[in-house]
A and B are shown apart, each in its own frame.
Chain A
Amino acid sequence: MQAKWISKKELKKLLTAWTKHYLVYAPIDNDHELAFQMVKEPARIVVDGYSNTRYPAKSLFLPQSEVLMKYDGILHSVENTEKEKILFGIRPCDAHAMQLLEHALVDVENPDLYWKQKRESAIVISKACIAPEETCFCTAVGGSPFNTADSDVLLVEMGEDYCVYVLTEKGISLCKELPDAEDTQLQAVKKLTKKVVGRMPVLLPKQELHNALMASFETEFWKDVSQSCLGCGVCTFLCPSCFCFDIVDETVRKERVRNWDTCMFRTYSLEASGHNPRPTKVERTRQRIMHKFAYWVDLIDEIGCTGCGRCVKYCPVNIDIREIAEKALHREFEGMKK
């Protein structure tokens, strides 16, 4: 890791220069809300003063709707036309989520090439959060507002400048011209980190929560916490680490497409016989929460929620995943191993 330094003015120039050589995606103000979009006018990039976008950046790598194949008597995969691109301004929680998606979509035997090609062609410049929102809880799930996971470069806003952490070869190629940060500057970054992290929620006991949820599986707990759930796609579609998809044939367009899908929809696990292993919102809510806080832990010993807070903020009935985790931790379930 290298630590460099740049003034805000210089960064703007650099961004403009990058747009000449790369496709740059960055937060753009879209009337009331920010969204990651391809940058046409660098002046429109929102560089500071935002917490996060509502629509998650995962859509750049796993688009909500994506053509997989075209049909002309047989199905042909669409060609890979990915160009090298820069993703600027993604938050550490969302960058971390990309590692989780990488795990879900890419394995040795059957890598998801659509994801892989998009991911590999991207340089990720993330921005540390110096003013996390009230709904942010990355620190509770093992992350940090200054987390470097899955980023090539991490920027930390320091007054009129940024400290630039260069984390990978890809990052080095972009930032080699920048001067190194001085020791006093790095001291200041450390101090800021400590201050910001100190105000954030404390780490959840991962294994204890996992065990509590496993023990809760067949209890009334899930009935309690799912009562108000409407069964919509908000929490999972906006979630940066949800990856479920459906494959559908669009016959008019002669395309096989995939669309985001979600375990919160009642049709998701419905079988042709009529049997549904998750027949009500009780089982569906359980799946969402347990996938994040239990199954991911079983799989890679990490929580599958990155604490971005989107589901908390946008759930139409204010079902709060933090609250459910807390409740599970504080309830006594039979046969529970602590």
Chain B
Amino acid sequence: MKNCYEPFPMHIERIVIETTDTTLKSFELTFDREADRKDFFVKYNPGQFCQLSIFGKGEAPIGIASAAWEGDFVRFTVQKLGKFTSAIHAMHVGDPIGMRGPLGNGFPLDKWKGMNILVIGGGCAFSTLYAMTKHILHPSHRADYAEITALYGTRNSGLCLYKPVIEEWHNRNDIVVHQAIDVPEDNWKYHIGFVPAVLEEMAPKPDNTVAVLCGPPVMTKFTLPILTKLAFPPERIYTSLEKRMKCGVGHCGRCNIGHKYVCKDGPVFTLKELQELPNEI
């Protein structure tokens, strides 16, 4: 039987420096063992995360930033903060690394079929939204959903992730992309301002629409009331939570909100679910 704490061996296939300040890098990992690869892709659903593992530096839960159709690799976009994240930032292509996952619930994409999807992302928390959007935009999935609108805000243009792909999205006609930065910059063609304000200005219609929100806590805090004001019902507002984690599988007790474990029952929750839990985010 599988030991749920044992990471499987992976290698770093590609590294992309995402932001001009270099605090965010994407790592594309490939599988050393065919069985792990198979197992991963059978289970993977956008919105899930993995525990990445470097012996001596511990583990860190990182959201999956690639769609399954992209290839036999898994992408993670990591912000350099503490022990683990600094260590991975110092790694090179070809280095070995451990991984456990996919973990958590992910977005209920089946449930959303036939609906409009409003994607709202801020800062580096955009990674799983990116994976989800990519998944939906794939020709074999796109027809399952109605209108797709994305709003992505970063402090400045240099901090925007996945630039080439997002540029390409602007030119597509099956997705409407709004981008925003906090302060004006030369040659910036899109919105200026914070995500909540831009969203209010955009005034998306709530009918038959789910709003999926991932961002830094302040953004989430100020955006939720706007969505409510725009008459999005709490059961159609989704967000992905972060908590300190260890086991990632609901055993170590660390990531609870009330009787739910963010690692196992989440990280994706509807606002309605959160309203029914103690307010401890």
Q: Which residues does chain A contribute within 8 Å of B6, judged by CB atoms?
A: 68-69, 75-77
Whether A283 and B280, one on each chain, are in contact in the complex, defined by CB atoms closer than 8 angstroms, is yes
Name the residue among B3, B242, B280 with the largest chain A CB count within 10 angstroms: B3
- Distance of A310 from chain B, by nearest CB (Å): 18
Which of these binds chain B: A16-24, A47-55, A177-185, A239-247?
A239-247
Q: Closest residue of chain B to A115, judged by CB?
A: B251
Name the residue among A75, A110, A271, A275 with the largest chain B CB count within 10 angstroms: A110
Q: Does B42 contact A (CB under 8 A)?
A: no
Q: How far is the CA of A270 from the CA of B242 in the complex (A)?
A: 12
What 0/1 readout, one digit per residue, does chain B (243-262) give for beta carbons within 8 Å of chain A? 11011011111101011000
A272-B82 contact, Cβ under 8 Å, with A75-B53, A113-B1: yes
Whether A75 and B81, one on each chain, are in contact in the complex, defined by CB atoms closer than 8 angstroms, is no
Which of these binds chain A: B22-30, B54-62, B170-178?
B54-62
Q: How far is the CA of A269 from the CA of B252 in the complex (A)?
A: 12
A298-B258 contact, Cβ under 8 Å, with A269-B243, A275-B217: yes
Q: How far is the CA of A299 from the CA of B256 in the complex (A)?
A: 12
Whether B243 and A69, one on each chain, are in contact in the complex, defined by CB atoms closer than 8 angstroms, is no
Whether B57 and A295, one on each chain, are in contact in the complex, defined by CB atoms closer than 8 angstroms, is no
Provide the main secondary structure of the chain B interface: loop
What 0/1 readout, one digit per residue, does chain A (15-58) give for beta carbons within 8 Å of chain B? 00000000000000000000000000000000000000000000
Q: How far is the CA of A72 from the CA of B36 in the complex (A)?
A: 20
Identify B254's interface contact among A73, A111, A269, CB under 8 A. Answer: A269
Whether A271 and B242, one on each chain, are in contact in the complex, defined by CB atoms closer than 8 angstroms, is yes
- Distance of B152 from chain A, by nearest CB (Å): 20
Identify A77's interface contact among B3, B55, B81, B254, CB under 8 A. Answer: B3
Q: Closest residue of chain B to A268, judged by CB?
A: B254
- Distance of B235 from chain A, by nearest CB (Å): 19
Q: Closest residue of chain A to B217, judged by CB?
A: A275
Whether A110 and B4, one on each chain, are in contact in the complex, defined by CB atoms closer than 8 angstroms, is yes
Whether B278 and A290, one on each chain, are in contact in the complex, defined by CB atoms closer than 8 angstroms, is yes
Which A240-273 residues have C-beta < 8 A from chain B?
243-249, 251, 254, 256, 258, 261, 263, 268-273
Q: Closest residue of chain B to A256, judged by CB?
A: B55
Q: Does B240 contact A (CB under 8 A)?
A: no
Q: Does B187 contact A (CB under 8 A)?
A: no
Q: Does B7 contact A (CB under 8 A)?
A: yes
Q: Which size bracket describes the interface of B in this complex?
A: 35 or more
Whether A75 and B55, one on each chain, are in contact in the complex, defined by CB atoms closer than 8 angstroms, is yes
Whether B243 and A271, one on each chain, are in contact in the complex, defined by CB atoms closer than 8 angstroms, is yes
Whether B82 and A246, one on each chain, are in contact in the complex, defined by CB atoms closer than 8 angstroms, is no
A74-B9 contact, Cβ under 8 Å, with A248-B58, A256-B55, A271-B244: yes
- Distance of A247 from chain B, by nearest CB (Å): 5
Q: How far is the CA of A249 from the CA of B58 in the complex (A)?
A: 6
Q: Does A221 contact B (CB under 8 A)?
A: no
Whether B254 and A244, one on each chain, are in contact in the complex, defined by CB atoms closer than 8 angstroms, is yes
Q: Closest residue of chain B to A267, judged by CB?
A: B244
Identify B251's interface contact among A110, A287, A295, CB under 8 A. Answer: A110
- Distance of A183 from chain B, by nearest CB (Å): 45
Q: Which residues does chain A contribute within 8 Å of B242, judged by CB atoms?
A: 271
Identify A273's interface contact among B7, B81, B258, CB under 8 A. Answer: B81
Q: Which residues does chain B contribute within 8 Å of A290, judged by CB atoms?
A: 258, 278
Whether B4 and A244, one on each chain, are in contact in the complex, defined by CB atoms closer than 8 angstroms, is no
Q: Closest residue of chain A to B60, judged by CB?
A: A272
Q: Does A217 contact B (CB under 8 A)?
A: yes
Q: Closest residue of chain A to B80, judged by CB?
A: A272
Q: Does A281 contact B (CB under 8 A)?
A: no
Q: List 19 A-B contacts (CB under 8 A).
A: A68-B3, A69-B5, A71-B55, A75-B53, A75-B55, A112-B5, A217-B280, A245-B247, A256-B5, A256-B55, A258-B5, A261-B252, A261-B254, A275-B217, A295-B256, A295-B258, A296-B259, A298-B258, A298-B259
Task: Contacts A76-B6, A269-B244 known; list 7 others, CB within 8 Å.
Answer: A75-B98, A77-B3, A254-B55, A271-B243, A277-B281, A295-B259, A299-B259
